[in-house]
Structure 1
């Protein structure tokens, strides 16, 4: 798995995300290609959280990583990523707020 594949796997909350994390953490985020997080991928992950496949706490950590990496372009959903990674300012994350966010974005 190369770095771009690892970023994609992590962003999609794929089955191999732990292997992807290992690749990502061993590679500088200023080196190589940039992964573009699309609105579709973001909405798929949000829906999986709403459906109970992904824990809300994991979503917050995911958003923090996406926001902090220089090799991930999350500009298509930048405001939503900010809201998820700064819930102390934006309010508590729960299924209802995630459903509202999904409706706004999608």
Structure 2
């Protein structure tokens, strides 16, 4: 998930004070924490858990953070797809 601050913000999250400038984009846990705040704009949600393999890989692109998020979601499924897990591992380990 990614959000954009609509105004300068000072927020407390994960035992720290975070200062966000206007139009600053953040992702991950802080973004999820702020998603319901009217002072931010949600740029994209967490789409890692559903869809076809092609849809998930399109959402991931070459973003290692998204690949890790999608891998965690897929591994948590009752019937995870080994081909998807392998492709996500390739993206995560591509350096």
The two structures have a TM-score, normalised by structure 1, of 0.28
Between Structure 1 and Structure 2, which shows a larger proportion of strand residues? 2
